[in-house]
Structure 1
Amino acid sequence: MKLTEKELEIVEIVEKNARIPLDTLAKMTALTVEEAESILKKLEETKVIVQYATIVDWRKIDGHEGVTAMIDVKVTPKRGVGFDEVAERIYRFPEVKSVYLMSGAYDLSVVIEGRSMAEVAHFVSEKLSTLDSVISTTTHFILKKYKHDGTVFDQGDQDRRIVVAP
């Protein structure tokens, strides 16, 4: 789908801040509120804008730290459907947050979230590795998030201004 310059501008703005007020979006793009709203509606209907998401730093909420793991999966693709069928079977598990087809040593990269390392281990051993097409897995636990989807975590309250002396 080819987007106009204004549509592309709106996509870029909303990607950085999905909660931007419509009137501010209109001013930033030199459009009327009605025009901006119409473009947003079109982008949502055509699934260019798939969903509005919130990024939460769960480590800051007591009792909700959880565990995130990235799992490299080597699979045997099925004739006629390639990797799509096994990827769909994997992404249907509620623990799975993302599935990507990758180049390199492994075929799929799977991101899952669980309450504990034991829960992630149970998922890998009882659900993921038992699928017919799965040949092998390698699990990596995320120890700390520094940046996620363009958002930097733990910047702190330090004064980041440049010191200027006379």
Structure 2
Amino acid sequence: MSDERAVLDVLTTNAREDVSDIAAQTGLEEGAVEEAIADLERRGVVHGYQAVVDWDRIDDGGVRAIVELNVALDRETGYEEIADRIAKFPAVHALHLVSGNYDFAVEVTGDSMQDVSGFVSEQVAPIPEVTQTVTHYIMETYKDGGIRFGDRDDDDRLSVSP
């Protein structure tokens, strides 16, 4: 495993680790860790550091949805151009080109289901290349950003086998 990969593995688990702690976990010198982090940031490999939030525990956490998009490409327009247009919307939390039955998976956030629905119908669906949208509202999150959320109300029911 490369030094950069070792540092990235620690940062993605806990971006608040001290350089000395990362050095201890990876077996690298502190200077090498600092240099690796600076280089990763400079090259755009690391784009930022974020907290992983369990939005379900906040009353005003808003609404999140995954929106499937199908698009029709032409000679002048490719996936990159469509992605650039969609990514500019502040409601778009994440955007992925995917394989399978649809082209893009878009994670959207809003204050309410109506807010998300309005965004999709008024901003995304009218994009000329978008041919179909399917919205899936996120009801519960069990793991996000590699972090498993615990302390949920456990279901004490016993499983029944036939």
Give the TM-score taking structure 2 as reference length: 0.87
Structure 1 residues 157 and 20: CA distance shift in structure 2, 3 A: farther
Residues matched between the structures, number: 154
In structure 2, C-alpha distance between the alignment counterparts of 1:80 and 1:131, rounded to whole Å = 15
1:19 alignment partner, SS class: coil
After the TM superposition, which of the residue ranges 34-43 and 111-120 deviates more from structure 2?
A: 34-43
Amino acid corresponding to residue 47 of structure 2 in structure 1: V
Please provide the CA RMSD for this pair: 1.9
1:132 alignment partner, SS class: coil
In structure 1, C-alpha distance between the alignment counterparts of 2:23 and 2:119, rounded to whole Å = 46
1:144 alignment partner, SS class: coil
The aligned counterpart of 2:158 is none
Amino acid corresponding to residue 25 of structure 2 in structure 1: M
After the TM superposition, which of the residue ranges 137-146 and 102-111 deviates more from structure 2?
A: 102-111
Gaps of 5+ in 2: 155-162
> Cα deviation per residue 1:57-108 (whole Å; 9 max; x = unaligned)?
122223x221101111111113244211111111111100111111122111
Gaps of 5+ in 1: 159-166
1:97 alignment partner, SS class: strand
8 Å contact from structure 1 (residues 66, 116) kept in 2: yes
Give the TM-score taking structure 1 as reference length: 0.85
Identical aligned residues as a percent? 35
In structure 2, C-alpha distance between the alignment counterparts of 1:61 and 1:141, rounded to whole Å = 17
